[in-house]
Amino acid sequence: MPSYHIHVSARYTKIKSEIEKIIRQGIPADATVIYKARNTVYRLNVGGTDLVIKAFRVPNIINSLVYTHLRKSKAMRSYMNAKRLQELGFHTPTPIAYGEVREDGRLRQSYYISENLEGENMRDWEHYHDCDALLRAFAADIVRLHRAGVLHKDFSPGNILFTRDENGAYRFYYIDLNRMEFGVRSRKKLMSMFRSINLDTAQTLRLAALYSMSAKEDMKQVCDEAAEAQAEYLRFQRRKRRFKSLFSGK
């Protein structure tokens, strides 16, 4: 018989029973799939609250034991990291709940639930109508993250959302936080956030130059660090593809 560990933010007690039902019984049929790859992300309105539910992929037997006995689940880390990020003065879609389903002594399924945010993401930023202002604001926010010791290990454009208020000010929201680290002081680790922010090297260097101006640092050094982070990432991806090809026969 499965067991459940469910935590719902005190701000959302009015929909607590509905959230618990989702975690115990699974995603309702009327939920809309908005993203599906390794994990599946759904959108669902519950009691007037527009939810985003991230259902993490069912772990293999080894990982399920690790997440049961040695590490916090991805869902729990997503929730805790979102709360920590907010405490530091940064933005993420409001965390609502997380839930874990265990059976036979190991983790079977986990869910992270947040409020839906109506915003745009940073994919193809070079085509955005106010790209220069957007990138200046974004670079300044990355500087703030680094000075706060925040390392986002999945810092890709699809994991960065933004809104713009009536005065033209941009606000950035970070998602996919389960691997986020805090208290990081290693310059190389922090600059690794440039590795996959945009696979167009020219755009990466454009952002790095704006970062250097916001941080009041040497532009050449920052651009060199960003370029090396990206090159290292691309080398890793090539090695990964070659390794996979050994087993696929291609």
What are the sequence ranges of the domains in the chain?
20-115, 120-240
Q: Which residues of 54-77 are buried (b: 16+ CB within 10 A; e: fewer)?
A: bbbeebeeebbeebbeeebbbbbb
pLDDT at position 155 is 97
Residue 10's SS3 state is helix
Q: pTM to 2 decimals?
A: 0.92
On whether the CB atoms of residues 161 and 172 are closer than 8 A, the answer is: yes
Q: What is the CA radius of gyration of the chain?
A: 20
pLDDT at position 150 is 98
pLDDT at position 249 is 57
CA torsion angle 174 179 183 189 (round to 10)? -90
**For 64-95, how does the pLDDT look when each residue is reduced to its tens digit (9 = 90+)?**
666 666 679 999 999 999 999 999 999 999 99
Looking at domain 20-115, its CATH class is: alpha beta
**For 181-222, how does the pLDDT look when each residue is reduced to its tens digit (9 = 90+)?**
999 999 999 999 999 999 899 999 999 999 999 999 999 999
CATH placement of domain 120-240:
1.10.510
**For 152-180, how does the pLDDT look when each residue is reduced to its tens digit (9 = 90+)?**
999 999 999 999 999 999 999 999 999 99
